[in-house]
Structure 1
Amino acid sequence: MNTPAPSATAVPASRWALVAGTVVVLTAIVSVLLVAFAWPSARSSVHDVPIAVAGPPTAVAQIRTALEQRLPGGFEITAVHDTAAAEQLISNRQVYGAIDLSSGTPQVIVASAASTAVAQTLQAMATGLSQAGGTSTPIAVRDLAALPADDPRGAGLAAGALPLVMGGLLAAVLLTRLVHGTIRRVTGALSFAVTGGMAVAAILQYWLGSLSGSYPANAGAIGLAIAATSLTVLGLESLLGYAGIGIGAVVMMLVGNPLSGTATAPEMLPGWSGAFGQLLPPGAGGRLLRSTAFFDGGGATHAVIVLAAWVALGAVLCLVGTLRSAGGGHDSNAGVNRQPVMNR
């Protein structure tokens, strides 16, 4: 009687040490994910939020004292003389709102399109100031830049931040896997930025009703954010191989997206995190889109510079990675056929 030979494909069971190590790694990963996404929201608060106060110096000083008593360190106040000056600061996105005491009848001016969270805080502050003044008449609240009627809470704009980051990452991964040639990959990333920007802007503006303003400007803002993400990750992959994609995903997804401040406001995030988030593509992209959609481009300069810098960085990284490959440098993607000619 013949005994069947053991299967050549049989794989021995893994060692228990490997199982334990895998569990430890997975636990660390889920902990990092929780901290990355939950910490900014859980520690969100009003601190150093820029607002304007319009009126005589004495009245401005009184408001400054009252706000400091109610929310210590909550607001960074800019004193102006009249309503027009306060509105100009709001339109230029230098402040989120204003308390106007210059026209006789006190009013609070908000811009819910800049941040619904800050607008709600200012509305509550108006009620508190009215009660502090010993009058039952509420202080009028005027929304200078309101969100669209179809999306009064800005849910579509806030929810759209993550797909933009994922779209840029997905573009880099697919172009790396499917397209050979640095110039072809960069061209594909830029082309996708155009078509993706047009598609996402159309969905947000014409279907969901989450955006106002100029459709071409909104599409351009979204496209620039996608280009900044995809080109940066492409450049990192060109220089570091698959490890570059991982680094790009961590920077954009685990750091940039939670610290973007798109759902609230950068100033409401804990410590330095909000300001840092505005230097990354998700934060700059969210600010740029709000500027084009609701403020006629006001306050967009910083965001455009940040995104353009990331696009340029990605292009430089692609060039450096290609030149290194052409010069016989180490290829971190073992087993992947890299052709060294840029226009291959």
Structure 2
Amino acid sequence: MAVQAQPVTDASPSPWTAVARAVALLTAVVSVLLTAFAWPSVRSSMHDVPIAVAGPAPAVRQLSVALDERLPDAFDITEVADTATAEQLIRNRDVYGAIDVSSGAPQVILASAGSAAVAQTLNGIATALSQAQSQGVSSPSGVRDLVPLPADDPRGAGLAAAALPLVMGGLLAAFLLTRLVLGATRRVVGALAFAVTGGLAVGGILQFWLGSLTGSYWANTGAVALTIAATSLSILGLEALLGSAGLGLGAAIMMLLGNPLSGTATAPEMLPGWSGTLGQLLPPGASGGLLRSTAFFDGHGATHSVIVLATWLTLGILLCLAGGMLRRRPAADRVTTTGQPAQATV
């Protein structure tokens, strides 16, 4: 006669050391999250922000020295001879703005679409110059926004807010595809298809509903699609090679490094130390720069961002294919040793 075992109703409580480990882990996680998201904002400042100063050489040199004394190391100044050259540098995204002294009274030329934060700083300089000029015989300085933000989103809030959803979209795509789709090739195709549909949807919302983007809808859609593809495929590739640990590593790279260091809300040059440069080498940072170029600057200044995103996309595809080959090899070994066919998906 079989005796049925009684189910265990009272499990032994965990040891206090397990509680201590859990608390320590949670403390470390929240500290890392706070550091990742708060440190770039708290330590944000102007350093080596590229601007132009236009006008006669003596006046340009005098103003450059005055700016360096007032805001040490804040600007990387390009000295040009005339207003047209300064405006061309702004439109090409070589500089964020310019101070023009070619007509006598200084005029500040902005490109708020390039960075609202830098434009605000240059506005402050214009106010200081105006106050100084008003005490002399020259007329006060003026401000001209050469490349303004859209009237429907004058603070650029939509573009800044889009950075996190794009990262989350790529991460969610990688997570769902690894859970719902078998085969490296099918996952790559799924990620690329989602990049297209997601680009169409996000580009349409930002441009036609929120009014946060101008320019060519198709160029903006392409920028969003390239971002989603680069993010999702790079994480898929890490998962194909490292398993679940790859998903975690990819999420950490995109969420804890890429998003806070993207500089989309301010400017990469305003982030502390080396973080702005690092952020532009990751998909979230490259995405912000590319969207600004396609939406407001007719594609000027997009080359670096396209190269970065294309590199991540290509790397992701190669990792996916390499991971698929590694997974098929054990299946082939089992066929050799057991003589039984093993199914492998591609």
Amino acid in the other structure paired with 1:315: I
Q: Who is 1:172 aligned against?
A: 174
Amino acid in the other structure paired with 2:29: I
Q: Who is 2:271 aligned against?
A: 269
Q: Determine helix, strand or coil for the equivalent of 2:325.
A: helix
2:280 to 278, 281, 292: 278
Aligned residues: 331
Q: Who is 1:86 aligned against?
A: 86
Q: Who is 1:255 aligned against?
A: 257
Answering whether residue 327 of structure 2 is matched by residue 318 of structure 1, we say: no
Aligned counterparts of 1:292 and 1:340: Cα–Cα separation in 2: 45
Answering whether residue 92 of structure 2 is matched by residue 77 of structure 1, we say: no
Q: Who is 1:332 aligned against?
A: none
Q: Who is 2:334 aligned against?
A: none
* Contact preservation (8 Å) 2:182, 2:345: no
Q: Who is 1:293 aligned against?
A: 295
Q: Which moved more, 1:98-107 or 1:312-321?
A: 98-107
Answering whether residue 231 of structure 2 is matched by residue 229 of structure 1, we say: yes
Q: Please report the TM-score for the alignment, with normalisation by the length of structure 2.
A: 0.93
2:305 to 303, 306, 309: 303
* Contact preservation (8 Å) 1:82, 1:103: no
* Contact preservation (8 Å) 2:185, 2:321: no
Q: Determine helix, strand or coil for the equivalent of 2:144.
A: strand
Q: Who is 2:32 aligned against?
A: 32
Shift of 1:137: 4.4
Moved over 4 A (4+): none
Q: Determine helix, strand or coil for the equivalent of 2:98.
A: strand
Q: Determine helix, strand or coil for the equivalent of 1:76.
A: strand
Amino acid in the other structure paired with 1:71: L
Shift of 1:104: 3.8
Shift of 1:327: 1.9
Q: Who is 2:194 aligned against?
A: 192
Q: Who is 1:238 aligned against?
A: 240
Q: Determine helix, strand or coil for the equivalent of 1:328.
A: helix
Q: Who is 1:212 aligned against?
A: 214
Shift of 1:102: 1.7
Shift of 1:319: 1.4
* Contact preservation (8 Å) 1:201, 1:222: yes
Aligned counterparts of 2:309 and 2:97: Cα–Cα separation in 1: 26
Aligned counterparts of 2:108 and 2:273: Cα–Cα separation in 1: 27
* Contact preservation (8 Å) 1:99, 1:108: yes
Answering whether residue 155 of structure 2 is matched by residue 139 of structure 1, we say: no
Amino acid in the other structure paired with 2:111: A
Q: Determine helix, strand or coil for the equivalent of 1:12.
A: coil
Q: Determine helix, strand or coil for the equivalent of 2:108.
A: strand
**1:61-104 CA deviation, whole Å, 9 max, x = no partner?**
11111101110000000011111111111111110000011234
Shift of 1:320: 1.3
Q: Who is 2:185 aligned against?
A: 183
Aligned counterparts of 1:114 and 1:270: Cα–Cα separation in 2: 19
Aligned counterparts of 1:172 and 1:161: Cα–Cα separation in 2: 17
* Contact preservation (8 Å) 1:54, 1:60: yes
Shift of 1:321: 0.9
Change (3 A) 1:131 1:98: same
Shift of 1:181: 0.7
